[in-house]
Amino acid sequence: MKQTEAKEKLETLRKQLRRYNYEYHTLDQPSVSDDEYDKKLRELLDIETEFPQLITADSPSQRVGSEPLDAFQKVRHNVPMLSLGNSFDEQELRDFDRRARQGTEEEVSYVCELKIDGLAVSLKYEDGLLVRGATRGDGTTGEDITANLRTIRTIPLRLDAPETIEVRGEAFMPKKSFLSMNKAREEKGEMVFANPRNAAAGSLRQLDPRIAAKRNLDIFLYGVGEWQGEASKSHSERLERMKQLGLKTNPEWKKCKNIDEVIEYVNGWIEHRADLDYEIDGIVIKVDRLDQQKVLGFTAKSPRWATAFKFPAEEAVTKLITIELSVGRTGVVTPTAILEPVQVAGTTVQRASLHNEDLIREKDIRIGDTVIIKKAGDIIPEVVRVLDDQRTGEEEPFSMPETCPECGSKLVRLEEEVALRCINPNCQAQLREALIHFVSRNAMDIEGLGEKVIAQLFQEELIHNISDLYKLDRDELLQLERMGEKSVDNLLKAIEASKENSLEKLLFGLGIRYVGTKAASTLAQEFGVMDKLMEADADRLVQIPEIGEKMADSIARYFDKPQVHELIHALKQEGLNMEYNGPLLNEGPEDSPFNGKTIVLTGKMENYTRSEAKNIVQELGGKVTGSVSKKTDLLIAGEDAGSKLTKAEELGIEVWNEEDFANALED
């Protein structure tokens, strides 16, 4: 394919993929299958790999997260991002309405919007192209988090018209994403996030955009800072025009003729807020007409034409009956409070996570206590505090057991962890949770094997470990509840198909500590076959880019266990593929200066974007990583190279400037 043909094809593919992405993530109305989308994306990636000079900032390929940043740059908002005044009851809403009507000397209509509990951000587009994303900060100065915001798939990298506009919105983490992320962190013995808002803010303030890319964040846009040539006359019209540009606005907004309709809208969402798959903490009410907004103006801190109705705190008093313990796949033992049933945020609550022993001790939580609970982020019930004055003296202090509640093995607290762990590899609870992980989508991807089916298989003693999964008998499965012939045949077919998975799927499915999907792929590509990986010691593993000492030690320890060797042997006997059959790593020409080298890019280049330089290096056989270490062979430094350059010089690593890079390519 010639470059001119490639350019035309890429423009067509990008336009199609932007439309598919908008339909899927924003409208929730996909017009093509996942396979069709993936096929188009692979085609785009193949062409961009062949012609890296044609990669653009708005390409769908740029969603995965770029290299880690040294620090966030400060951004000044041309139009300040002010906070809103609050209203807490119906009378305060009516007072707001009275002031608005008096200030305009006219009747006033309003727009009501759900108040998303996330992180306020601004997005700046020039001629339709996203050029900057920033936090609210102090309202006048925020931080440039463009690289992180690019990873949110509902943010268009290019608008459907060449508008120059700065829009404001709220980035947030959906409830499902929050729950799955906290579950994973808890299994690793890491501190969990208290609520989705903290999780979203923490994700977007990561210096490594690849972390944000994994967090499955979302956004709703609700306002405009600046808009060149804007023709809107009302806020409601603005929202419609923003949607036409491809920006994601919340579909639940409503135009209200008067304050009575506003109050009706507010009361409706107080009742139904728990039905949403994201967290809200109130309703924002805005004067609709822009000319009336201008007349009402601003105070020093907030606009006079808007207010935020804050939902009343959802708390309840109940009794803590007992504390149960559960064991995760990594052996982490988690305490859970069992409560007398109580209504909170529209649902009946009987359980609340206590996370770890330190939290129980810090809050002095005892069995039999009367406690105040709330739904943190409307999702996970949380014990806020104990009502000490209601103690009778019969309450029992709680301490974690010394042995595993499932298998009786001694529990240990690993260095720098708050969690207690069971390290018995034959613990049935861990095996059950490990199998749930093994069959998950990013691992062996066995459809039809959900948590309930796996629990049923363990209960009926049809399986005791991972290898037993491949020995299941059709007749025995048909004896189980809710297992008909069709579902059993489909399940066995899916299990059989999983045997052909590439090595990285199996590696991730084994649940080796610290090994995620990316590390599993790196290891599979590096070693090619399972046997070579099993023979590698920590010193060999740590030589691989992006495999740190902690991970290398964990992998070596895992494959040093006799029971792991037995498991791998059993899986081989069942016919599981033990080889990597994914795309091979690029090998450059024999005279390439980058072949087999680990290279770090830093600073700004005049003639190449960071992405272009990275693709060129990879095309010529180099491995590009985000941080400088003893394993780095070469640092290519543009202007304003910061701490990475300093570290490279300290370690005696070879450093090139942009001219050196260009000369090497020419040679």
Report the catalytic residues.
115
List, edge to edge, every strand of the sheet that includes 254-256. Answer: 85-87, 306-310, 280-287, 110-116, 254-256
Cα 319 from Cα 491, distance rounded (Å)? 43
Its sign, for the CA torsion 564, 569, 575, 581, is positive
- Amino acid making up residue 49: T
The torsion region of residue 341 among left (phi > 0), alpha (psi -120 to 50) and beta comes to: beta
- CA atoms lying within 13 Å on the CB side of residue 473: 6
Q: What is the dihedral of CA 318, 323, 324, 325, to 10 degrees?
A: 130
Question: Contact, 382 vs 353, CB < 8 A?
Answer: yes
- Which of 98, 99, 142, 138 lies closest to 124 in space, CA to CA? 142
Burial of 341 (0-12, 13-18, 19+ CB in 10 A): exposed
User: Which pair of structure tokens corresponds to residue 479?
Assistant: 């004896």
- Which of 116, 85, 121 lies closest to 309 in space, CA to CA? 85
Give the orientation angle of helix 34-50 with respect to helix 610-619, to 10 degrees.
Answer: 80
- Which of 433, 579, 437 lies closest to 508 in space, CA to CA? 437
Burial of 546 (0-12, 13-18, 19+ CB in 10 A): middle
Cα 211 from Cα 518, distance rounded (Å)? 12
- Cα 607 versus chain centre, distance: 33
Q: What is the dihedral of CA 139, 145, 150, 154, to 10 degrees?
A: -30
The pairing of beta strand 119-126 with beta strand 165-172: antiparallel
Tell me the three state secondary structure of residue 342. Answer: strand
Number of other CB atoms surrounding residue 543 within 10 Å: 14
